[in-house]
């Protein structure tokens, strides 16, 4: 997911540069300028949504600890000797 958000951020940066170059070069068509600005915002929104963490750091740490404990518990049950029919 982080790769996609970085792609969106890169595309948004390119569109912003296109907008700034277009506006600074001379006579501006408002429709084209608005289209470039809307394109910039449309690329920036998913980048920011994908980059922001959805969980607090404490919740993320707790979830990782629980997953690690379950893996250790599961690994411990695999180490137990099996019956003769296994």
Q: What is the dihedral of CA 11, 4, 51, 56, to 10 degrees?
A: 170
Contact 33, 22 (CB under 8 A): yes
d(C-alpha 77, C-alpha 72), whole Å: 9
Res. 14: pLDDT tops 80? yes
Q: pTM of this prediction?
A: 0.59
- The pLDDT tens digits of the residues spanning 43-57 come to 999 888 887 766 677
Cβ neighbours for 4, distance < 8 A, ≥ 6 positions apart:
46, 50
Domain ranges (residues) in the chain: 2-77
C-beta of residue 18 within 8 angstroms of C-beta of residue 38: no
């Amino acid at each position: 997911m982080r790769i996609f958000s970085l792609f969106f951020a890169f595309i948004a940066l390119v569109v912003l540069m296109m907008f700034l170059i277009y506006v600074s070069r001379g006579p501006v068509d408002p429709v084209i300028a608005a289209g470039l600005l809307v394109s910039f915002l449309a690329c920036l929104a998913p980048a920011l949504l994908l980059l922001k963490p959805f969980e607090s750091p404490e919740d993320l740490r707790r979830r990782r600890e629980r997953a690690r404990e379950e893996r250790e518990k599961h690994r411990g049950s695999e180490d137990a000797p099996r019956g003769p029919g296994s």
